[in-house]
Amino acid sequence: MTEAKLESAAALPFALAGNAKFTLRSVKTGTRYTYKVRRAEEKEGQTHPRWFVSLLTGSDNDADFTYMGMIDEGLTFRLTKSSKLAATSTPVAAFDWFFKRLAAKRVTPDGVEVWHAGRCGRCGRTLTVPESIEQGFGPECAGRVA
């Protein structure tokens, strides 16, 4: 698997592409958490997209994710009644801090690196072309992501 650091301006489009898995790494402490952000199916009458956010909590990088909360209109992350982690837990607080700054400024906050695992943020396919790995999207999906 090829890991790649996302450029600062690419982090928000990647995170909201629909099927993103990425790791946040603190430059200062080296602490890292891996998250999955999946776009929810739109319901009738819904005017804004929503995304479900989960945290990798086990050793299986594909299946061991625990639901944390959602991103809703206005690009606001929040816990829901189904959230399995408390707002005060370090991984939740880290994601909340990161995403508030990312959504506000559209660039990765200073002191944080965003890494993806070599899979397209939209469709999840393995990326093999260097330019696609750098962007986080395959050529077909890159044209479909806003």
Query: Which pTM does this prediction carry?
Result: 0.92
> Are 124 and 20 spatial neighbours (Cβ–Cβ below 8 Å)?
no
Q: What is the DSSP letter of 73?
A: T
pLDDT tens digit sequence for 91-127: 999 999 999 999 999 999 999 999 998 999 999 999 9
pLDDT tens digit sequence for 17-60: 999 999 999 999 999 999 999 999 988 888 889 999 999 999 99
48 Cβ neighbours under 8 A, 6+ residues apart: 72, 73, 74
The two structure tokens encoding residue 94: 């880290």
Distance CA 68, CA 14 (A): 19
Q: What is the DSSP letter of 62?
A: T
